[in-house]
Amino acid sequence: MSDSIPAKPAEASVIKAATSAERLISIRVSPNNYFIVLFLITFLTGFLVYLEKDYIAFALFAASWIIFPILAWNDRIVFDGKRLTRTGILPGFWARFNSTKYRLRINDVEQVESQALRALKRGGNVFYRYRTSLQGKGLKFAFASGGEDYRRMIHRILPLVSENALDNRSIELRDYLAEPKETLMKAAFAHIPSADVLESSFNKLQKTDKFRPKSNQNAEAEAEKADYLHILGNELRLSGYLLQGLEAFRRALVLNPQDARLIFDFARCLHSLASSEKSERLKRKSFAALRLAEKRADTDGELLARLGETYFQYGDWRRASVAFNKAFETAKTNFRAARGLAEIALREGKIGYVILHFTNANSLAETSALRRWTQNENDYFSRLHSDEDYMEMEISRVSLLGGLEKSKKTCLKIAFFSFPLIVIGLIFDELLTNLGWTMGGVSLVLWAGLMFGQRMLATRIPMDFDDEN
């Protein structure tokens, strides 16, 4: 007879609720849109004060600065282990008003893309801000780094998504994103000097051509240490400690100079440093390392496909095409290579080849989400290829998008130019103030309208669209 006492219904519900709460993780949505609206309303209140509508201006200013921060604070993306949900008052209202969904099952994620923005550079260290977006079934969820919430979301969500749906940087974030302080502690235990100490090595690297991995006949015995340094180098790179990351890669390459994946990650770290330092010499070295990784990759189709994506990201489309073709020849079941060849064909304007490669990618997709995405891409480009009128409309839409972006930047420049004009006019001449308010008001209204139009035109024209409609 068991000695365990069954839990009471109330206790069981408490345990279930606690378990559910542990599974729930959330992150705050970037408040950029709220700040834009708040900025426009603040400008309007200033204009009302200028018109001597003080009470209305004060009420509008107070209400906006109380309501919008609360709305931004409550606007979050929640993940419960199975689906992503956008919370918040405005997103929920807009979803109901527009008859759209605001939930996305993790099995329906079709693409994951991550971008890195250099937020701050200090010495040899670069502090990055990452932004990751997940797309599927016409929905898009985006969140940015800035603390532990981002790392928790990355580590919980990305391992559940097919690797073929992740871009290069998302794969790196999934595998190597760590807490910066812990990464620095690991570097200290590995006796890797600080960035200040490594500055002289960096200067030597710029002046000479001796920063190359040296062979070591005992590399096999040191494989475990090389793997540890390889992981540490990637963690340091993603945390922005580029010089220390390069030193970790250098030591790993001394132990294992033939590892193609190690050379590949070293090349990406070197390219990041070259971009932050704006050094063409280092950039050429990074491309040389990529070509060496490509040579050593041999029959590693997965690595060759990732090399192709890296070449494509860095703007070398010819080498990207070579790497993708090698990957596809090595393994005819390589989804990433087929997708990459479709992107190269699209860049070259060869729509027929785009359709062919997306057809291959569709047959190789291992998840229903990837099959749905590749089929949609195939249908879209097939319609472009067969319907000249549809192609003309799409070309016009894309061209208009580019024109709206330029016009939006111009309006914003005019608006910022009008602000000092208003201040100068208040001191010297009322005519300048009137001119400043007019310029600022008109340009901001046009800017807001252009931004709304840009979002409307960002969506492709439906494939079932008929000219008669």
Q: What is the pLDDT of residues 322-375, one digit of tens each?
A: 999 999 888 778 899 999 999 999 988 899 999 999 999 999 999 999 999 999
**pLDDT of 160 strictly over 80:** yes
**pLDDT of 290 strictly over 60:** yes
Between 221 and 106, residue with greater pLDDT: 106
Percent pLDDT > 70 in the chain is 87
Four-residue CA torsion sign, 200, 204, 205, 210: negative
Tokens representing 262? 């190690």
Q: Is 68 left (phi over 0), alpha (psi -120 to 50) or beta?
A: alpha
In whole angstroms, give the CA distance from residue 252 to residue 266: 10
Tokens representing 106? 């993790």
Which of 134-138, 192-196, 198-202, 213-217 is modeled with the greatest confidence? 134-138
**pLDDT of 26 strictly over 50:** yes
**pLDDT of 320 strictly over 80:** yes
Mean per-residue pLDDT of the chain: 84
In whole angstroms, give the CA distance from residue 360 to residue 273: 37
pTM of the predicted model, to two decimals?
0.84
At 15 the pLDDT is 40
With both helix axes pointing from N to C terminus, report the angle between 280-297 and 260-277 in degrees, rounded to the nearest 10. Answer: 170
Q: What is the pLDDT of residues 255-283, one digit of tens each?
A: 888 899 999 999 999 999 988 888 899 99
Tokens representing 423? 């201040």
**pLDDT of 82 strictly over 50:** yes
Q: 92-101, 224-233, 387-396: which range is least confident on average?
A: 92-101
At 299 the pLDDT is 85
Q: What is the pLDDT of residues 394-442, one digit of tens each?
A: 888 888 888 888 898 898 888 888 888 888 877 777 788 888 888 888 8
In whole angstroms, give the CA distance from residue 120 to residue 126: 6
**pLDDT of 92 strictly over 80:** no
At 235 the pLDDT is 95
**pLDDT of 171 strictly over 60:** yes
Q: Strand 125-136 relative to strand 111-122: parallel, antiparallel, unpaired?
A: antiparallel
At 204 the pLDDT is 54
Q: Residue 169: pLDDT band by 50, 70, 90 thresholds?
A: very high
Q: What is the pLDDT of residues 211-243, one digit of tens each?
A: 444 444 564 557 789 999 999 999 999 998 999
At 178 the pLDDT is 92
At 208 the pLDDT is 43
Strand partners, 28: 76
In whole angstroms, give the CA distance from residue 364 to residue 355: 14
**pLDDT of 124 strictly over 80:** no
Q: 2-6, 246-250, 377-381: which range is least confident on average?
A: 2-6
At 202 the pLDDT is 59
